[in-house]
Structure 1
Amino acid sequence: MNKIQLTVIGGGQMGRALVGGMLQSGVQKAENIHVVEVNELGRAWWNEHHPSVNVGGDLIAGVRDAQTVLLAVKPNVLPIVTQQPDQTWVGKLVVSIAAGVGMKKLCQWIGHQRVARVMPNTPSLVGQGASAFCVGESVTEDDTSQIKSMLQSVGLVVEVKESQMDAVTGLSGSGPAYVCLMIEALADGGVLSGLPRPLAMQLATQTVLGTAKMVAETGRHPGELKDAVASPGGTTIEALRVLEQNGVRGALIQAVKASADRSRELGQD
């Protein structure tokens, strides 16, 4: 992929994460990347952190020589970005990370079906992302390989049906916020129980990180790993009783569903 001319429209967090991952992994070369960023402070960030990447504010100029275009903008900005002269997107693979914007709309706006939707998440910033993608009818095997290479540079990637993208948004797209809330709450519990705040935060963060790694690397069901900690009549089973009493499991399930439902609503707006 490193010889493919890539233009990234939108130089915010996800654009930075994906470009940074591609550069670090060698998937892409800086001289083959052009970032379109309309904000002057945003362009300054790119010039400071990735001086070899071409950065500018002119969308048409940035897209002109690109073979692949990554639309790393918010859903409400996407209709404005895509409403360009007819020849702008011709012959280009166009990849969108805008939540809730379906393939049908994307293809209408772009003018062809060589289009893909991606739902990444913010842990991509540290190379631990979870990304899902689906593709339009005109996307080739080489295009799919290119998308996978781009996303694998920042973490896990899976291909899904478009009908599953809203559920992906609710789970992994919004999921980092749920986990951050849990880490904060665990640390608060540590403070309530007598720990200093920095130590409580350190222990809460490492506990979540280590547990996630244990689930991923052992392949054991989280319920089995939970039961291994919960001794009869012990401290953990008492804590689990309180969590169940307060509906934590059900609240997380409903949070994922609410986010997925909102993603569907955004797609209908």
Structure 2
Amino acid sequence: MSNKITFIGAGNMASAIFGGLISSGYSPSLITATSPVQAELDSVRQRFGIHTSSDNLSAAADADIIVLAVKPQIMQQVCEPLAAVLQQRSERPLIISIAAGAQVATLDHWLGGRHAIVRTMPNTPALVGAGATGMFASAEVSPAQRAAAEQLLGAVGIVEWVSDETLINAVTAISGSGPAYFFLFLTAMTDAGVNLGLPRDTARRLALQTGLGAAQMALASEHSTEQLMRNVMSPKGTTERAIATFEDKQLRQIVQDAMDACAQRAEEMQSEFGC
């Protein structure tokens, strides 16, 4: 891919994505990031060697791909001025949104209509190259543009496409917000270890490494996570008793309720932000 890419926004997630692209061999000369904050522009220019600008319109004028990387609360005020510039172009750029709650039809309306748009839901582990991103493409997105979007987000982790835009809310519930669930569980494991007598640093390192190791085993294994769990359990053993306690306390239902609440809130946000 040798497209000219403009990121409208130069915050942490945008930096993670163009940093991942550059690490995979993409030329910094093809990347521009915009921001109204000069210190932010200075930082990314020094770190990554990319072009920077405080002018969204000029930066978007000849971009092949425009990544909307701003908060949903200001998405409308960012998009509407871009419409006049984009509508004058004979070849429309691919628009990629990484903002929560911003629906394809609304983005297209704000940008003047008839755009190829990919809506994505990345997550914070993208900051360390271990992200999981859900993606939905509008009907206007060509196979080549779809491949370009996949390469762009794939630079910071795995990519999974969904066929229905409403499923982005489910993606939010499982991977978008999911890192926080694991952080909560790891915190609880650490605290429990301390209560059992371990030094906090020891308990924390054991919990974190166990979480990492379990995920790596699951990714490498041909077995389901349910089977991997059973493999650790011996009849009348320690793990069996711990798992029985989780089951008695309805852990699975707690997780379902939490993810239902997350997906519902994601849907609500679309209306609140006008997206």
TM-score (norm 2): 0.92
**Counterparts of 1:58 and 1:255 in 2: how far apart (Å)?**
41
Specify the code of the residue in structure 2 equivalent to 1:210: G
Residue 140 (structure 2) aligned to one of 132, 138, 141:
138
Q: After superposition, what is the alpha-carbon deviation per residue over 1:96-133, rounded to whole angstroms, capped at 9, x for unaligned?
A: 01112211111111122311101111111111111111
1:109 aligns with 2:107: no
**Counterparts of 1:253 and 1:49 in 2: how far apart (Å)?**
41
Instruction: Answer yes or no: is the 8 Å Cα contact 2:4–2:65 preserved in 1.
Output: yes
Residue 69 (structure 1) aligned to one of 66, 69, 84:
66
The Cα of 1:87 is off from its aligned counterpart by 2.7
The Cα of 1:85 is off from its aligned counterpart by 5.1
Residue 195 (structure 2) aligned to one of 192, 195, 206:
192
Once the two structures are overlaid, the 10-residue window that deviates more, 103-112 or 142-151, is 103-112
Match of 2:9 in 1: 10
Q: After superposition, what is the alpha-carbon deviation per residue over 1:152-185, rounded to whole angstroms, capped at 9, x for unaligned?
A: 1111111112121110111111101111111111
Once the two structures are overlaid, the 10-residue window that deviates more, 28-37 or 88-97, is 88-97
TM-score (norm 1): 0.94
The Cα of 1:9 is off from its aligned counterpart by 1.0
**Counterparts of 1:173 and 1:198 in 2: how far apart (Å)?**
28
Change (3 A) 1:249 1:41: farther
**Counterparts of 1:42 and 1:124 in 2: how far apart (Å)?**
19
Instruction: Answer yes or no: is the 8 Å Cα contact 2:35–2:53 preserved in 1.
Output: yes
Match of 2:219 in 1: 216
Residue 81 (structure 1) aligned to one of 69, 78, 81:
78
Specify the code of the residue in structure 2 equivalent to 1:97: I
Match of 1:230 in 2: 233
Specify the code of the residue in structure 2 equivalent to 1:81: V
Residue 158 (structure 2) aligned to one of 156, 159, 174:
156
Match of 2:254 in 1: 251
The Cα of 1:250 is off from its aligned counterpart by 1.6
Specify the code of the residue in structure 2 equivalent to 1:30: P
Match of 1:168 in 2: 171
Q: Mark the runs of 5 or more structure 1 residues left unpaired by the alignment.
A: none
Instruction: Answer yes or no: is the 8 Å Cα contact 1:11–1:72 preserved in 2.
Output: yes
Q: Indicate the percent of aligned positions where both proteins have the same amino acid.
A: 34
Q: How many residues align?
A: 266
Give the alignment's Cα RMSD to 1 decimal: 1.4
Match of 1:207 in 2: 210
1:30 aligns with 2:28: yes
Change (3 A) 1:85 1:53: closer
Specify the code of the residue in structure 1 equivalent to 2:68: L
**Counterparts of 2:59 and 2:115 in 1: how far apart (Å)?**
21
Q: After superposition, what is the alpha-carbon deviation per residue over 1:223-250, rounded to whole angstroms, capped at 9, x for unaligned?
A: 1111111212211122112222333222
1:55 aligns with 2:56: no
Specify the code of the residue in structure 2 equivalent to 1:199: T
Instruction: Answer yes or no: is the 8 Å Cα contact 1:119–1:132 preserved in 2.
Output: yes
Q: Mark the runs of 5 or more structure 2 residues left unpaired by the alignment.
A: none
